[in-house]
Amino acid sequence: MPSSSAQQRLSAASPSGAYILGPTDRVRLKVYGEPDITGEYEVDANGNVSIPLAGQIKAGGLTTKQLERNITSALAKGIVRDPRVNVEMVAYRPFYILGEVKKSGEYPYRVGITVLDAVATAGGYTYRANESKVYLRRAGSTMEETYPMDAPILLYPGDNVRVPERYF
């Protein structure tokens, strides 16, 4: 069973709440009155987005609201007068599943996806799979936690799921 701190991390990581941006996330930027700046941008491997007239803006580790403020500030320092900026999520970074599933790999994140949904997305279990437990490492963590497979565990962008082998 997961520890109480692991339970807290499960509930605190909600992408519908204050989602934290990271590499490969895609955001839609709207700058009212500035169609050349308005568009979709991807957070690069260093956690930055490159915005015309604003340059490289740190996005990794920020919420969309924090990024909005940083872009507004950067544009205001340039030639855009009184910029009105809106940032919204377009696509979350993928989750990863490996171990005893038929098609391990990287899969697109969908809000509300559970560990069991992820196993199904990866083609189901192999015949060697231990179907009673799963190992989960949250994005940004180095610790892998063990959970019962029948628990309704939500995944979040960047999570790593590992289905272990059963021992006869």
pLDDT(145) > 70: yes
Mean pLDDT over residues 50-66, rounded? 93
Supply 152's token pair.
């309704």
CATH of range 4-15+93-163; options 1.20.140.10, 3.30.479.30, 3.40.50.920, 3.10.560.10: 3.10.560.10
Q: In what order do the strands lie in the sheet with 133-137?
A: 105-107, 95-99, 160-163, 133-137, 145-148
pLDDT for res 7: 39
pLDDT for res 5: 39
In this prediction, residue 78 has a pLDDT band, given cuts at 50, 70 and 90, of confident
The CATH H-level superfamily of 26-91 is: wza like domain (3.30.1950.10)
Summary mean pLDDT of the chain: 88
pLDDT for res 26: 96
List, by residue range, all CATH 3.10.560.10 domains of the chain.
Answer: 4-15+93-163
For residue 11, the SS3 value is helix
Which helix (H) or strand (E) segment holds residue 8: the answer is: helix 4-12
Mean pLDDT over residues 89-97, rounded? 94
List, by residue range, all CATH 3.30.1950.10 domains of the chain.
Answer: 26-91
pTM above 0.95, yes or no: no
